[in-house]
Chains A and B, each alone.
Chain A
Amino acid sequence: MAFRRQIVRATLQNANGNNFAQLARAGGRCLSSASPSSSAAPADSPPQLPPFDHRPKPYKGPSAEEVLQKRKTYLGPSLFYYYQKPLNIVEGKMQYLFDESGKRYLDAFAGIVTVSAGHCHPEILKAIVEQSELLQHATTIYLHHAIADFAEGLAEKMPGNLKVVYFVNSGSEANELAMMMARLYTGNLEMISLRNAYHGGSSNTIGLTALNTWKYPIPQGEIHHVMNPDPYRGIFGSDAAGYAKDVEDHIAYGTSGRVAGFISETIQGVGGAVELAPGYLKMVYDTVRKAGGVCIADEVQTGFGRTGSHYWGFETQGVIPDIVTMAKGIGNGLPLGAVVTTPEIASVMSQKIQFNTFGGNPVCSAGGLAVLRVLDKEKRQQHCAEVGSHLIGRLGDLKEKYDIIGDVRGRGLMVGIELVTDRKEKTPAKAETAVLFEQLRDLVFTVSESRRTVLTV
């Protein structure tokens, strides 16, 4: 992060800021505008946020400087934050965030693809507050209806025989459990994951993760990282067959021929909103199952209707996994994760005790169930499809206008914009991305940047 700051400072001092400013403004306008005709507006006037009828509470807490100082002292040097001048976010409402001075920001990042229904959505708040006042925690050694109702609600959203639910507290925990299930069920150790994937920060999931920024040098066991079916940067473009063959090769030449399982995101989140080449999963699922393995779909970012076209990301590839993991959007920000699998796989898990103290607690379960209901009632999947395609359309126009935009991709409200300094070479435009990222912040607009050159929305 410190290195990034140097790039930004250098660029701001040296570069011709005009182009970037224009791009930033255009980008901001595009992303904040609801009407398709505003491309007619002059490029130099800053766009306006859509109106929003909510007054944040006056903030009387510590200032940004005070908070930053405490963080540096008590939260360790590895804890990074966005922006040269970090935002002190003190309140949220639906798709907006508010800083200490009450300034409103359009939240295009949603706490990293997490706040699915909207910050402080009234119905979800109600469920959380009511349950918190009744019973926060007793564990599953006693009965409680919330976990059972929520499990039923989730299972109803699943295709095939995916109907046994395990509740955990995060995506990492969910993927850890899924990996254990795969190994136990098959009796094999070898796991396969995609290069550029992110699956978690615990010991086993660091092994599955395939981005060196996130991999500490610890032994990762029997894990194979196969070619990423990346339509933009991959060697086979959008031709899935070439990539799928790599999985066959890894199994044939790098394992005993029998594997535990394959795990992938359908749209890689941390990896920069990279959607898998069409048809990829069908081929790979087939290969993996022939080798005795199970197929795990990591829906931590793509789940719950975010892709617009489908409820789950894996549905966009026309497959049914054996295990599905989820977190982030599942609870609109509540610390909650889940693993859904088949009764056959679940029965193997029952050979020993598997217990999660906080998992499925009444408050998180009540919140999770409220999220499912809100997403259905407010037709959010459809909304993602509509707004998402509008967004991608407008970004596509921007790409025509600015050479620096190498690729616009994604589905629904999971969109990526990759910046390159050379469209042929696809040289990552690291400095420019960093600058644009900062300037968007000034336009009261928060996005994320993955792999230093992709803005994800």
Chain B
Amino acid sequence: MQRFVARSGLLEGGRRRAQSLLRSQQQQQKQTRYFAQAAREKEIANDVLPKMPPFDYSPAPYTGPSVDEILAKRRQFLSPSMFYLYKKPVNIVEGRMQYLFDEGGRRYLDGFGGIATVNCGHCHPDVVDAIVSQVKRIQHPTILYLNHAVADFAEALASKMPGNLKVAFFTNSGTEANELAMMMARLYTGCQDMISVRNSYHGNAAGTMGATGQRSWKMFLDGQQSGIHHVLNPDPYRGPFGSDGEKYAKDVQDIVDFATTGHVAGFISEAIQGVGGIVEAAPGYLPAVYKNVRKAGGLCIADEVQSGFARTGNMWGFEAHGVVPDIVTMAKGIGNGMPLGAVVTTPEIAEVLTRRSYFNTFGGNPVSTAAGLAVLKVIDKDNLRENASTVGAYMKDRLTALKEKYEIIGDVRGRGLMIGVELVSDRQKKTPANAETLHVLDQMKEMGVLIGKGGFYGNVFRITPPLCFTKEDADFLVDVMDYNMSKL
């Protein structure tokens, strides 16, 4: 017994020594980080403006219409509901990788990526090359004739998919992709009832407007969304069950049991709600819901329009949740800004469209698909998954530190380079701080950082930059945010 105690004492001692070594290492790292941060904070406290990382590129001189001329034409000829960000809108005339340039040649850090769209970087040379060489050959023959571009792209896309997801349909937007996905689910199951999540955004055509779960995006049109049920949002920050995904999943089962025949067409959701304010589904939610929906005969649709194409650090947002959907929809990042969307599904589900004819005139055209293929190659070649993961985690850490500093930051969340910062005037009540959000957004723009905003209450900063974003860029973004918050 003594020997045992003595030996365990030795082991215990070793463990304690190892732990103390680890602790001191961690303390050292923390000190270094704090030191750098302290230096930056000192600068901010002393009103020293953060500096944008250098970039060796000169934009072309701009000789086009001025801001006022453009604004006048927009007012006269474009939709009256077309809005722009900022009190004084920015006239963006050129882009290069993670930077944008205005008419005066001023450089901005693009922290929004054309709304989570320009994943490779503005005018990435590989993507532009692919577009230009293809457009000079043929822009549009339609898929009634053969052309290798769409076939090569479909093959490459399928290789990025898990399970039996290997048949692609090409559209021109996320809305078109989600419309098609919803129709396929309804056709495949023979049911009409579709379940979507509150606070979601899926598109602006009739079916997808119905699936969208936010009133701001729904026209005053009754009768468009019959058959759609919106379930509790598994929102870790604002939801009643915090991060307990399975509790939210029960709402889906309740809807199936009490609001449908017991059989449904399917369930559609974003892994991280984009328009809804970068709300990632509580852990455990998707596996539980997918199980319930499949038991009810329904298909599971993953809307990857914003979270896809390496943005979250994985290729697809749903990967972090340990599920394999039946249908995946995508757009935005798929073509680095080309009007392109896609639906990827299994051969069995794809078969439903053979019952009649479905045709998309522009879908799968050589130029868009050449761009898409180039994007997939760049994601691998430029290591964008890893970069999104590393720089994203770094930025999130720095923003979390900001949260310690400013009461107004209610939540920092997201994954990879899809990050949200929610501003509240009361941390307990979580009262949205809209005015401050708009103000800081504006001020950040004045200092050269463009980010977005979203969330149902409009109080969430959306940070979804091109995935070539660097740590230095992240530092600049956070420092500028820090600086402007200190002035609030």
Chain A contact residues, CB within 8 Å of chain B: 57, 61-62, 64, 66-68, 70-71, 73-82, 86-92, 97, 111-112, 114-115, 119-120, 125, 128-129, 132-145, 147-149, 151-152, 154-155, 163-166, 168-173, 176-177, 179-180, 183-184, 189, 201-204, 206, 212-219, 221-222, 327-328, 332-336, 343, 346-347, 349-358, 360-361, 364, 446, 448
Among the listed B139, B338, B368, which residue makes an inter-chain contact with A332, where contact means beta carbons less than 8 Å apart?
Answer: B139
How far is it, in angstroms, between the C-alpha of A333 and the C-alpha of B85 when the chains are bound? Answer: 31
B residues 60-102 with Cβ under 8 Å of A? Answer: 60, 64-65, 67, 69-71, 73-74, 76-85, 89-95, 100
The interface residues of chain A lying within 8 Å CB-to-CB of B221 are 180, 183-184
> B169 contacts A75, CB within 8 Å?
yes
Among B29-37, B172-180, B390-398, B476-484, which stretch is in contact with chain A? Answer: B172-180
Knowing A136-B122, A357-B173, say if A151 contacts B117 (CB, 8 Å): no
Among the listed B67, B132, B169, B220, which residue makes an inter-chain contact with A184, where contact means beta carbons less than 8 Å apart?
Answer: B220
The interface residues of chain B lying within 8 Å CB-to-CB of A214 are 356-359
> B64 contacts A353, CB within 8 Å?
no
The interface residues of chain B lying within 8 Å CB-to-CB of A144 are 70, 91-93
How far is it, in angstroms, between the C-alpha of A222 and the C-alpha of B222 when the chains are bound? Answer: 12
How far is it, in angstroms, between the C-alpha of A167 and the C-alpha of B80 when the chains are bound? Answer: 13
The interface residues of chain B lying within 8 Å CB-to-CB of A222 are 223
> B361 contacts A328, CB within 8 Å?
yes
Knowing A129-B135, A219-B226, A357-B173, say if A347 contacts B80 (CB, 8 Å): yes
A-B pairs, top 3 by smallest CB distance, nearest first, are: A333-B140, A137-B337, A78-B353
* Nearest CB in chain A to that of B216: its residue: A353
How far is it, in angstroms, between the C-alpha of A168 and the C-alpha of B169 when the chains are bound? Answer: 19
**Is B384 an interface residue, CB under 8 A from the partner?**
no
**Is B331 an interface residue, CB under 8 A from the partner?**
yes
How far is it, in angstroms, between the C-alpha of A447 and the C-alpha of B449 when the chains are bound? Answer: 52
> A142 contacts B89, CB within 8 Å?
yes
Chain B contact residues, CB within 8 Å of chain A: 60, 64-65, 67, 69-71, 73-74, 76-85, 89-95, 100, 114-115, 117-118, 122-123, 128, 131-132, 135-148, 150-152, 154-155, 157-158, 166-169, 171-176, 179-180, 182-183, 186-187, 192, 204-207, 209, 216-224, 226-227, 331-332, 336-340, 347, 350-351, 353-365, 368, 450, 452
How far is it, in angstroms, between the C-alpha of A299 and the C-alpha of B143 when the chains are bound? Answer: 22
How far is it, in angstroms, between the C-alpha of A80 and the C-alpha of B216 when the chains are bound? Answer: 39
Knowing A135-B95, A143-B70, A152-B77, say if A82 contacts B145 (CB, 8 Å): yes
> B138 contacts A89, CB within 8 Å?
yes
The interface residues of chain B lying within 8 Å CB-to-CB of A327 are 361-362
> B144 contacts A112, CB within 8 Å?
yes
Most buried by B among A142, A347, A446: A142
> A148 contacts B70, CB within 8 Å?
yes
Among the listed B73, B79, B340, which residue makes an inter-chain contact with A350, where contact means beta carbons less than 8 Å apart?
Answer: B79
The interface residues of chain B lying within 8 Å CB-to-CB of A352 are 81, 216-220
Most buried by A among B83, B148, B209, B340: B148
Most buried by B among A78, A184, A219: A78
> A132 contacts B123, CB within 8 Å?
yes
* Nearest CB in chain B to that of A150: its residue: B77
How far is it, in angstroms, between the C-alpha of A126 and the C-alpha of B124 when the chains are bound? Answer: 19
- Jot down 10 A-B pairs with beta carbons below 8 A, ordered by A: A75-B154, A111-B361, A143-B89, A144-B91, A148-B65, A155-B77, A169-B339, A180-B206, A203-B179, A357-B117
The interface residues of chain B lying within 8 Å CB-to-CB of A73 are 155, 166
Knowing A133-B128, A202-B176, say if A151 contacts B77 (CB, 8 Å): yes
Among the listed A145, A216, A347, A353, which residue makes an inter-chain contact with B65, where contact means beta carbons less than 8 Å apart?
Answer: A145
Nearest Cβ in chain A — how far from B298, in angstroms? 16
> A202 contacts B179, CB within 8 Å?
yes
Among the listed A79, A129, A148, A354, which residue makes an inter-chain contact with B74, where contact means beta carbons less than 8 Å apart?
Answer: A148
Among the listed A139, A148, A168, A335, which residue makes an inter-chain contact with B368, where contact means beta carbons less than 8 Å apart?
Answer: A335
How far is it, in angstroms, between the C-alpha of A346 and the C-alpha of B82 when the chains are bound? Answer: 11
How far is it, in angstroms, between the C-alpha of A177 and the C-alpha of B222 when the chains are bound? Answer: 15
Knowing A148-B65, A180-B221, A346-B79, say if A142 contacts B90 (CB, 8 Å): yes
Nearest Cβ in chain B — how far from A172, in angstroms? 7
